[in-house]
Amino acid sequence: MSLTTLIQQLPKAELHLHIEGSLTPELMWQLASKHNITIPYNSVAEIQAAYQFSDLQSFLDIYYAGADVLRDQDDFYALMWAYLTRCYEENILHTEIMFDPQTHTARGISFDIFMPGFLRAIEEAKEKYGISCLLIMSFLRHLSQEDAFTTLREAEPYYSAITAVGLDSSELGHPPEKFEQVFEKVRELGFKVVAHAGEEGPAEYIWQAINLLHVDRIDHGVKCQEDESLMQYLTETQVPLTVCPLSNLKLCVIDDMQKHNILTLMERGLLVTVNSDDPTYFGGFLNANFAALANALPITETHIKQLAKNSFTASFLPEDKKQHYI
Ligand code: HPA
Ligand code: ZN
């Protein structure tokens, strides 16, 4: 069996996916027209062509602007439904989806608009596709800790629909320590914790996410290799890393996929997974991320199977359900 067929056929979980980063240029165009919103593009092709980034910030500027077309409950439903349909097509059986409430509440769009839209699509996908889904609410780290506390309070009616709380957006200059108190409250409330760390930021930010936020998983974390003691810690504790290869390439974290360190991390015994991050902005959904690795690195069938297995091991599914997939 070819690696491409194996990648397609293997049951997989996705653990690092921003739902706003799955907005296709086609849906952006359609929603802009529906709501009479002027966007700085004259066609779907022009939207696609604008996705050339030099670093994380140059991407985030376009990503937040793109999310402005999401206005009513049906828009959030359509966004989530499109992603879950793609999961079905790619044989992703379980997915843990991040959403950025502040991107919407800052525009006057409340939890009562986006959450019902998301939840309706998730319920339908469970029924129609048998896909299991958990939600991760992410705080924007370029905003203040006070803002994160407000968001946590606003989310209260939806706590039962949320499994974990995360930290994303501009990493450099916004270290995990900025959010220590709010994550203490998050943990008190019983949520799992994740944080983007070591994407552009240094290994020190990964240590902070571990020691101050007490994360259950690190998002990205590819900079861990800068610190040998951190490598040993991650190997011993098996705190998972949700690695996003095409994201790393598009945001110039690496300049060539052949230089990606995922195989080195695996061979050192870290619990790494493959994910798509913001698939419509970075040029591929989950299977394309696997394929990009397979094309650039000396990856074998054993590696692919291990990565697919890791995706369930590193998930927030209860143990009995994990075992069912592994
Ligand atoms: N890093 C930080 N914030 C983000 C990302 C990312 O890769 N994608 C969406 N928000
Ligand atoms: Zn991310």
Determine the pLDDT at residue 131: 97
pLDDT at 177 (0 to 100):
98
Three-state DSSP state, 243:
strand
Tell whether 2 is covered by a domain. Answer: no
Displacement of CA 16 from its chain's centroid (Å): 3
- Digitized pLDDT (tens) for each residue of the chain, 326 residues in all: 899 999 999 999 999 999 999 999 999 999 999 999 999 999 999 999 999 999 999 999 999 999 999 999 999 999 999 999 999 999 999 999 999 999 999 999 999 999 999 999 999 999 999 999 999 999 999 999 999 999 999 999 999 999 999 999 999 999 999 999 999 999 999 999 999 999 999 999 999 999 999 999 999 999 999 999 999 999 999 999 999 999 999 999 999 999 999 999 999 999 999 999 999 999 999 999 999 999 999 999 999 999 999 999 999 999 999 988 88
**Is 73 domain-assigned?**
yes
250 lines ligand 1 (CB under 6 A): no
Q: Which ligand is nearest to the CA of 247?
A: 1
In a domain, 7, yes or no: no
In a domain, 153, yes or no: yes
CA of 219 to the centre of ligand 2 (A): 7
For residue 278, give the ligand 1 atom closest to its CA.
8
Distance CA 153, CA 9 (A): 41
pTM: 0.98
CA–CA–CA angle 197, 198, 200 (5° rounding): 110
* Closest-CA residue to 12 (of 246, 218, 310, 324): 310
Q: Is any atom of ligand 1 closer than 6 Å to the C-beta of 219?
A: no
The SS3 assignment for 260 reads coil
- For residue 326, the model assigns a pLDDT of 83
ipTM confidence: 0.96
Helix/strand/coil for 11: coil
Separation CA 241–CA 224 (nearest Å): 10
What is the CATH classification number for the domain harbouring 185?
3.20.20.140
Cα gap 66→63, rounded to integer Å: 5
Q: Is 278 in the pocket of ligand 1 (CB under 6 A)?
A: yes
Residues whose beta carbons lie less than 5 angstroms from ion ligand 2: 277
- Residue 286 belongs to some domain of the structure: yes
* Residue 295 placed within a domain: yes
Using alpha carbons, select from 154, 156, 95, 91 the residue that is nearest to residue 121.
95
Q: Answer for the pair 221, 206: CB distance below 8 angstroms, yes or no.
A: yes
Q: Which domain holds residue 191?
A: 18-315
Rounded to the nearest angstrom, the distance between the alpha carbon of 295 and the centre of ligand 2 is 23
Q: Is residue 323 part of a domain?
A: no
Does 89 qualify as catalytic in the annotation? no
Does the CB atom of residue 199 touch ligand 1 within 6 A? yes
Residue 265 resides in a domain: yes
Task: Compute the distance between CA of residue 63 and CA of residue 146 in angstroms, rounded to an integer.
Answer: 23
Q: How many domains does the chain have?
A: 1
